[in-house]
Amino acid sequence: MKKTVVSSVFVALLVLSGCGDKDPQVEATDSAATKEVASTRAAVETVSSNNNNTSAVSDSAESSSEAMARLEKELKTIYFDFDKFNVRADMQANLSADAGVVNTKASKYFVKLEGNCDEWGSDEYNFALGLKRADTVKKALVAEGVDANRISMVSFGESSPTCTDKTKECWAQNRRVDFKLLP
């Protein structure tokens, strides 16, 4: 961006210098050149200042995304039993802790709930089950005081497994709802 502005100013100076009178007037040229140099310097300083501001905004956005990633790590995944969408008793504490994080530390972010399933069942069935799981978690979060307008849901069905082994333990890891924070 800085190079573009400087190049544009330089081209404008060349064009404007070609449009002037052909009579050499040393004092006027020196005065005009001085004004043009001053305006060029001002333009360069403005561009430099804008780049510094852009850098500050970029640093702020970077630290915001780092904070969001750090908060996402605090949110615990909610796991489900085979072919079920009700929250298991052993997941209630995780859900309450997640609601606390969303209500306090992550209160300026939106929450996306990602419903997932194991590979058993048809694609259509698993997408529906993943959405039911996400909806169950959403209702529980709302009951814990999270604003429903801050929560969105998506189902990945069986298309986003965390484990691909063909074991009961692995399949159990894929029956879950993950939390993602959005700005």
What pLDDT, on a 0 to 100 scale, did the predictor assign at position 63? 76
Task: Give me the mean pLDDT over the 81-94 stretch.
Answer: 96
Check whether residue 161 and residue 86 sit in a common domain. yes
In this structure, are 23 and 101 located in the same domain? no
- Determine what percent of the chain is predicted with pLDDT higher than 70: 66
Instruction: Give residue 29's pLDDT.
Output: 46
Q: Are residues 10 and 42 in the same domain?
A: yes
**Rounded Cα distance, 108 and 22, in Å:** 64
Which pLDDT belongs to residue 88? Answer: 96
121, 172: one domain:
yes
Residue span of the structural domain in which 125 resides: 75-182
Summarize the confidence of residues 151-163 as an average pLDDT.
Answer: 95
In 3D space, the residue among 92, 67, 96, 62 whose CA is nearest the CA of residue 79 turns out to be: 92
Q: Which alpha helices (DSSP H) does the chain contain, by range?
A: 2-18, 26-74, 92-103, 123-143, 168-174
Q: Are residues 105 and 168 in the same domain?
A: yes
Predicted local confidence at residue 65, as pLDDT = 85
21 and 43 in one domain? Answer: yes
Dist CA 132 CA 154 (whole Å): 10
Summarize pLDDT for 44-57 with one digit per residue, the tens.
455 455 544 444 44
48-52, 66-70, 129-133: the lowest-pLDDT one: 48-52
Backbone angles phi, psi at 42, to 5 degrees: -60, -40
Q: Is residue 68 part of a domain?
A: no
Terminal CA-CA length for the chain:
27
Same domain as 32, residue 82: no
Q: Quick one: pLDDT band at residue 67, thresholds 50, 70, 90?
A: confident
Query: Tokens 């609601």 label which residue?
Result: 99
Task: State how many domains the chain has.
Answer: 2
Task: Round to whole Å and give the CA distance between 132 and 149.
Answer: 18
Question: Does one domain contain both 168 and 84?
Answer: yes
85 or 62: whose pLDDT is higher? 85
Q: Looking at the domain assignment, is residue 69 inside a domain? A: no
Residues 6+ apart with CB under 8 A from 143: none
> Which of 63, 84, 100 is where one domain is finished?
63
Residue of 85, 82, 170 lying closest to 128 (CA atoms): 85
CB 111 within 8 A of CB 74: no
Instruction: Give the pLDDT confidence score for residue 62 in this predicted structure.
Output: 56
The structure's pTM equals 0.65
Per-residue pLDDT band for 153 (boundaries 50, 70, 90) equals very high
**153 with 115: CB under 8 angstroms?**
yes
